[in-house]
Amino acid sequence: MSHAAAPIETSAPLGAPASGAWALRTEGLSKAFTLHLQGGTRIPVLQDVELEVSPGECVALAGPSGAGKSTLMRCLYGNYGAGAGRILLHHLGETVDLASADPRLVREIRRDTLGYVSQFLRVIPRVPTLEIVAEPLVARGEPRAAALARAGMVLARLNLPPRLHGLPPATFSGGEQQRVNLARGFAPHYPVLLLDEPTASLDAGNRAMVIGLIAEAKQRGAAIIGIFHDTEVRDQVADRLFEVAPIQEAA
Amino acid sequence: MTTATGYNFGYLDENTKRMIRRALLKAVAIPGHQVPFGSREMPLPYGWGTGGIQVTASVIGPSDTLKVIDQGADDTTNAVSIRRFFAKVAGVATTERTTDATIIQTRHRVPETPLREGQILVYQVPMPEPLFKLEPRVAETRRMHALADYGPMHVKLYEDIARTGHIAISYNYPVMVGGRYLMSPSPIPSFDNPKLDRMAALQLFGAGREKRIYAVPPYTAVKSLDFEDHPFRPIRADATCALCGSRESYLDEVVTDDAGGRMFVCSDTDYCNTRQAAREAAE
Amino acid sequence: MSALLEATGLTLRFGAVTALDDVAVSIWPGEVVAIVGESGSGKSTLLRVLSGLAGPEAGTVLYRDPDGTVHSLLDMPEASLRRLHRSDWGFVHQNPRDGLRMGISAGGNIGERLMAAGSRHYGAIRAAAAEWLARVEIDPARIDALPRTFSGGMQQRLQIARTLVTHPRLVFMDEPTGGLDVSVQARLLDLIRALVADLGLAVLLVTHDIAAARLLAHRIVVMRRGQVVEQGLTDRVLDDPQHEYTQLLTTSVLSA
């Protein structure tokens, strides 16, 4: 598998799936937490999750609070390590298993193939908003000027006032920070996009914006997996629901 | 062989001379590299030229003619003392004429008259280590020489230019010998540095207190450190010798009264006297 | 070998104390790897061994030079190692006084590596020094000032400029923000982050500051009592720690 960095066209997602019509699929994905500091308590959260998402499809994770939706999301991003099973993606024309990928491959996958919009913006101090949003584009080899321009456009669509573009987002409101997150996630046109509560802090107008961005991404062929507590939004963007059921606690 | 006064020829015993000659051979084989030697107790204290005297004593033979200068002059107390010393313990002929000497021992100057093949110039050296002021640790300077790691010296020159606009070293200006070793040419004025480059005579350096010997064989490249855009320039007073009229030689400034009166005179007495004699003969 | 530096089986004992116990670490070009652990974990020792400043009792350290040739660090002659440290490698010390010449001007400090590499044009050296001062956010007008007139944060940034002027591919950093005020630390970390991104540096960073590791590092290596207890992608190790000690570390971090 090549780990070489190659500049990627950001106008369209990477090629059609090699086999079948899925963009992401999990096989037997399981996750449990062992809390050593609590005497080694083992908490299973996910058990044999089988999820398959097609290009252009938006799947909403559904289930009660604490069932493991966020855990599943984080496993899909590689943020949590899978306990067992595989997470398959098409990356640079090849099928890769994120669950067993080494750190360098995971970074590459996150750079080119897999995007993630989290609920909270982890703020890098002192970096202006425009640069934060442009950074994933620059990482792919896009020239700085073009990346910054594109970042500005996406922020404008999300109604983030231009006077904020040059400021670091640490002092922004929750809704403003959320829009920075969204811009960063939608600007690069990832083939697979994970959205964790993308409209949580937004007003109606901006919620509509996000629905529009999701629709556009789907049209481009992106596969989207999201957690939407706002059922209105969910009903407008999701093609189907995927139930994440809580596991009965083992002793 | 003992002289009339009961000393071995050249004062030092033969084994000591052999030891010093071995050091000299090593030094000549590695131009600019400092060779440690077993510096002996001499009948004058450290800081008075014991290194130079030991080198001279080891190379001098009965047929040699010795000249000794101190800051260019044959007639200062030290030059006279050392010349008399060798006359006594070696019975050799001595001279003040550069052209007549086979061995010239010098403190802090190079004769103006160009030297020729077969002559030996022996320098008295107080501090043989050119990096001493920058790096006082001997272990470290030895490593720097071994690895030709001379960055700090260039940094020092950079600092001079940054602070004063020019390299502010007027004497003991560091040189690269044979493109390999950084060497202290002894506290000669930087004006004399070009004379060392490809000199026809053999140059030997002795530091008695520091117990080091080094050498520059004839026709060896000796380059003063500088920058491409701040090249080395020999510095002399912009004046004429009041005695012989020279505009090329290195001049001493002599204060003549307490009203600011001064005159410039050649530092090299033999050179000046020779020129004066030639002028008188021409008239 | 595609890695820039690859170490395996490193073991080193100081009497009864095991500083390194069968440690393996690798680093690839353009990657930032943080080695975290508490005092006595062996992280600083590991850094010294990886940079050739100390020798292990067992194990190998392989280094791939710009031509692609692989060298064994432990068999390298001292001359080559010193040359390496002045050109392709950099070392940023925790205390800037250990990495700077305090009696030499800022410009001289930055220019030294250039001069050691053979640069002999005063004007060019000075211009490069001024450019680097600006890059590390020190006013270029202070090019002739002595480091002892700089604040701690400025001294540290000067040390970084001095290290990076020869465009090293691999930089070792030993607690670069230790001893600095919090706001100064933030500025320094941000500077390092930007330089790493701009220059494609590989950085081996030793720190006990987990937040700094999260900010800067792509991968993190957790050490305890000379052993590597866990390593991997930074956000994975910090958000989903597997080893007991790592869980202890991550839950012990105070957040503002």
pLDDT, one tens digit per residue, over B180-200 is 999 999 999 999 999 999 999
Instruction: Look at residue C72 in the predicted model and tell me its pLDDT.
Output: 94
pLDDT of residue A248: 62
Q: Which residues does chain C have within 8 Å of residue A104's beta carbon, measured at their own beta carbons? A: 28, 31
Q: Does A17 have pLDDT greater than 70? A: no
Same domain, B104 and B206: yes
B202 shares its domain with B242: no
E strand or H helix at A242:
strand A240-243
Pairwise CA distance, residues A171 & C92, whole Å: 32
Identify whether A6 is part of a domain: no
- Which residue out of A33, A34, A36 would a mutagenesis test of the C interface target, given it has the greatest number of C Cβ atoms within 10 Å? A36
**Is residue A174 assigned to a domain?**
yes
Is the same domain home to A177 and A197?
no
Note which residues in 18-47 of chain C have CB less than 8 A from chain A: 28, 31
Enumerate chain B positions whose Cβ falls within 8 A of a Cβ in C: 143, 146-147, 149-152, 154-155, 158-159, 161-163, 226-230
Q: Do chains B and A touch (3 or more CB pairs under 8 A)?
A: no
Whether C47 is covered by a domain: the verdict is: yes
Task: Report which secondary-structure segment, H or E, holds A225.
Answer: strand A223-227
- Quote the CA–CA distance of B88 and B179 in Å, as a whole number: 41
Percent of all residues in chain B with a pLDDT value above 70, rounded to a whole number: 98
Strand partners, B173: none
User: Are B92 and B84 contacting, i.e. CB atoms less than 8 angstroms apart?
Assistant: no
- Bridge partners (DSSP) of residue A91 are A94
Examine the pLDDT at A8 and tell me if it is beyond 70: no
- Residue with structure tokens 């030997």? B204
- CATH code at A65? 3.40.50.300
Residues A107 and A196 in one domain: yes
For C8-34, the three-class secondary structure string (H helix, E strand, C coil) is EEEEEEECCEEEEEEEEEEECCCCEEE
Q: Assign C164 to helix, strand or coil.
A: helix
Q: Is residue C237 part of a domain?
A: yes
Q: Quick one: pLDDT band at residue B157, thresholds 50, 70, 90?
A: very high
Q: How many domains does chain A have?
A: 2
Kindly state whether residues A77 and A58 are assigned to the same domain.
Answer: yes
Beta strand residue intervals within C47-142, DSSP E: 58-64, 70-72, 89-92
Q: Is C181 on the interface with A (CB under 8 A)?
A: no
Contacts for B154 with CB less than 8 Å, ≥ 6 apart: B225, C112, C115, C116, C120
A91 with A197, same domain? yes
Q: Active-site residue numbers of B?
A: 32, 241, 244, 266, 272
pTM: 0.84
Number of domains in chain B: 2
Q: Which amino acid is at B35?
A: V
Cα–Cα distance measured from residue A52 to residue A26, given in angstroms and rounded to the nearest whole number: 6
- Reading phi first (left if > 0) and then psi (alpha if -120 to 50, else beta), residue A68 is in left
B220 and B240 in a single domain? The answer is: no
Q: What are the backbone dihedrals phi and psi of residue B45, each rounded to the nearest 5 degrees, phi first?
A: -75, 165
Q: Alpha-carbon distance B40 to B211, whole Å?
A: 9
- Does C122 contact B147 at a Cβ distance shorter than 8 Å? no
Q: What number is the average pLDDT over the span A21-27?
A: 92
For residue B241, count other CB atoms closer than 10 A to its CB: 24
Please name the residue of chain C whose CA is at the shortest distance from the CA of residue A131: C194
Most B-contacting residue of C76, C80, C82, C104 (CB-CB within 10 A), to test interface: C104
- Indicate yes or no: CB of B159 within 8 angstroms of CB of C108: yes
Longest dimension (CA), chain C: 56
Which H helix or E strand runs over A212?
A: helix A204-220
Question: What angle, rounded to 10 degrees, do the helices at B14-29 and B50-59 form?
Answer: 100
Residue type at B1 in one-letter notation: M
> B185 with B280, same domain?
no
Backbone angles phi, psi at C202, to 5 degrees: -100, 135
Q: Domain residues for C188?
A: 5-88+168-252
Structure tokens given for C166: 């020869």
Q: How confident is the model at residue B6 (pLDDT cuts 50, 70, 90)?
A: confident
Preferred mutation among B159, B161, B223, B225 to probe C, highest tally of C CBs within 10 A: B159
Residues of chain C contacting residue B143, judged by C-beta atoms under 8 Å apart: 78
CA distance C144 to C135: 16
Residues of chain C falling short of pLDDT 50: none
Strand B202-207 vs strand B120-124: parallel, antiparallel, or unpaired?
parallel
What confidence tens digit (pLDDT) does each residue in C76-128 have? Answer: 998 889 889 888 999 999 999 999 999 899 999 999 999 988 899 999 999 99
Shared-domain flag, residues A88 and A196 = yes
Residues A73 and A156 both lie in one domain: no
Residue A144 has pLDDT above 80, yes or no: yes
Q: Please, are residues B192 and B250 in contact by the beta-carbon 8 Å criterion?
A: yes
Strands A84-91 and A24-35: antiparallel
How far apart, in whole angstroms, are the C-alpha atoms of residue B19 and residue B14? 9
User: Residue A88: what residue type?
Assistant: L
- Examine the fold and report which residue of B224, B248, B263 is the final residue of a domain before the chain moves on: B224
Pairwise pLDDT comparison (C178 vs B248), residue with the higher score = B248
Q: Taking Cα atoms as reference points, which of A106, A178, A37 lies closest to residue C241?
A: A37
Instruction: Judge contact between C52 and C81, C-beta under 8 A.
Output: yes
The secondary structure of chain B as a DSSP string is: -B-TTSPBTTSS-HHHHHHHHHHHHHHHHSTT--EE--PPP-SS-TTSSHHHHHHHHHH--TT-EEEEEETTBSSSHHHHHHHHHHHHHH--EE-S-GGG-SEEEEES---SSPP-TT-EEEEE-S---TTTTT---HHHHHHHHHTT--HHHHHHHHHHHHHHSS----BS--EEETTTEEE---S-BGGGHHHHTT-SSEEEEEETTTTEEEEE-TT--EEE--BTTB-------SS--TTT--SSS-EEEEE-STTS-EEEEES-HHHHHHHHHHHHHH-
Same domain, B213 and B242: no
Closest approach of chain B CAs to the CA of C234, in angstroms? 39
Q: Decide if C148 is inside a domain.
A: no
C2 near C24, Cβ under 8 Å? no
Checking if the pLDDT of B279 tops 50, the result is yes
The reply to whether B208 and B87 lie within a common domain is yes
B46-87 per-position pLDDT tens digit: 999 999 999 999 999 999 999 999 999 999 999 999 999 999
Domain presence at residue B27: yes
Q: Residue A82 is part of which domain span?
A: 19-113+192-201+218-246
Which residue in chain A has the smallest CA separation from C182? Answer: A125
Q: What is the chain C residue with the closest CA to A40?
A: C244
Cβ C36 vs Cβ C222: under 8 Å = yes
Total residues found in chain C within this entry: 256
Is residue C227 in some structural domain?
A: yes
Distance CA B199, CA B176 (A): 14
Q: Give percent of chain B with pLDDT exceeding 90.
A: 93
Is there a single domain that holds both residue B120 and residue B254? no
Q: Indicate if the alpha-carbon torsion angle B152, B156, B157, B158 is positive or negative.
A: positive
- Same domain? For A99 and A28 the reply is yes
H-only helix segments in C21-67: 43-50
Torsion, CA B51, CA B54, CA B55, CA B60, rounded to 10: 150
Domain encompassing residue B275: 236-283
Per-residue pLDDT band at A181 (split at 50, 70, 90)? very high
C33-47: pLDDT as tens digits: 999 998 888 999 999
Q: What is the dihedral of CA C184, C190, C193, C196, to 10 degrees?
A: -70
The beta strand positions in chain C, using DSSP E, are 5-14, 17-27, 32-36, 58-64, 70-72, 89-92, 170-174, 202-207, 219-224, 227-233
pLDDT of residue A13: 44
What is the number of structural domains in chain C?
1
Question: Can you tell me whether residue A10 is helix, strand or coil?
Answer: coil
Contact check, Cβ <8 Å, A103/C190: no
> Which of B186, B202, B224 is a domain's end point?
B224
Which of C79, C121, C122 lies nearest to residue B147, judging by beta carbons? Answer: C79
For residues C236 and C44, give the distance between their C-alpha atoms in angstroms, rounded to a whole number: 24
All residues at 6 or more sequence positions from C249 whose CB lies less than 8 Å from its CB, including other chains:
C36, C38, C210, C222, C241
Closest CA of chain B from C116, distance in Å: 4
Q: Report whether B190 contacts B226 (CB < 8 A).
A: no
- Computed over every residue of chain A, the mean pLDDT equals 87
Angstrom distances, CA of residue C63 to CA of A103, C11, C73 = 20, 18, 7
Using a CB–CB cutoff of 8 Å, tell me whether C209 touches chain A: no
Q: Are C56 and C137 in contact (CB under 8 A)?
A: no
Q: What angle do CA C196, C190, C127 make, to 5 degrees?
A: 65
Is the residue at B45 inside a domain? yes
- Closest residue in chain A to residue C231, using alpha carbons only: A103
Please count the other Cβ atoms lying within 10 Å of the Cβ belonging to residue B97. 13
The 10s digit of each residue's pLDDT in A192-246 is 999 999 988 888 888 999 999 999 999 999 999 999 988 889 999 999 999 998 8
CATH code at C21? 3.40.50.300
Give CA–CA dist A140/A107, Å, rounded: 11
Residue C110 belongs to some domain of the structure? no
Q: Are residues A144 and A222 in the same domain?
A: no
C56 lies in some domain:
yes
Residue A168 and residue A44 share a domain: no
Q: A66 and A49, same structural domain?
A: yes
Cα–Cα distances in Å, from A231 out to A61, A197, B189, C121, C202? 12, 11, 90, 69, 46
Looking at the structure, tell me whether residues B185 and B282 fall in a common domain: no
Among residues B175, B177, B152, which one has the least CA distance to residue C115? B152
pLDDT band per the 50, 70, 90 thresholds, residue A15: very low
Q: What is the pLDDT of residue A19?
A: 47
Burial A128-152 (b: 16+ CB within 10 A, else e): ebbbbbbbbbbbbebeeeebbebbb
Residue B249 is assigned to a structural domain of this protein: yes
| C positions 130-149 inside 8 Å of B (CB) | 143-144
Picking from C101, C105, C120, the nearest residue to B162 by CB comes out as C105
- Confirm whether C83 is domain-assigned: yes
Give, to the nearest 10 degrees, the angle between helix A129-139 and helix A174-186: 20
- Tell me, yes or no, whether A28 and A91 share the same domain: yes
CB of C39 closer than 8 Å to CB of C224: no
Judge if B105 and B240 occupy the same domain: no
